[in-house]
C-alpha cells in the first residue's frame, strides 16, 4: 500500500514539500531524478519544474500530466521511510 500525495509546494533548488494522506510530510529533493535524465530531464527548466501539481485522481505529483513520480518513491524519499518490500525485492507485482 502507498500513500497519496495531497499537497505539493515547490521550494528552491528543485525541492518539493509534500503532504501525504496519512498526515506525514517531507521534502523531496528532485535533483537526483533530474540528473538521471530521460523523462526527468525536462524538469531542469526551473519554470517547468514550478508547474508541479497533484493529480488528485491518482494521488501523485505530476508535471503537465506527462511526468510523474510514483507515490511509493515520493513517500520514501520525502519521509525517509523504506520503500515497500515488493519494490525492494524486484518482484513484478504488488501485494493485494
Contacts 24+ apart (CB under 8 A), 40-47: 40/67, 42/67, 43/14, 43/67
How much is the pLDDT for 67? 96
User: Domain 5-81 has what CATH class?
Assistant: alpha beta
* Half-sphere exposure in the Cβ direction for 52 (13 Å, CA): 28
pLDDT per residue as tens digits for the range 51-82 = 999 999 999 999 997 999 989 999 999 999 88
Name the nearest CA neighbour of 36 among 61, 5, 69, 11.
Answer: 69
**What's this model's pTM, rounded to 2 decimal places?**
0.83
Q: How far apart are CA 6 and CA 19, in angstroms?
A: 6
Amino acid at each position: 500500500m502507498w500513500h497519496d500525495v495531497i499537497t505539493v509546494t515547490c521550494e528552491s533548488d528543485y525541492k518539493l514539500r509534500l503532504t501525504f494522506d496519512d498526515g506525514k510530510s517531507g521534502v523531496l529533493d528532485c535533483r537526483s531524478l533530474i540528473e538521471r535524465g530521460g523523462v526527468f530531464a525536462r524538469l531542469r527548466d526551473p519554470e517547468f519544474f514550478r508547474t508541479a501539481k497533484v493529480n488528485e485522481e491518482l494521488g501523485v505529483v505530476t508535471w503537465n500530466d506527462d511526468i510523474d513520480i510514483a507515490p511509493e518513491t515520493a513517500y520514501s524519499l520525502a519521509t525517509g521511510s523504506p520503500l515497500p518490500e515488493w519494490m525492494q525485492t524486484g518482484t513484478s507485482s504488488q501485494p493485494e
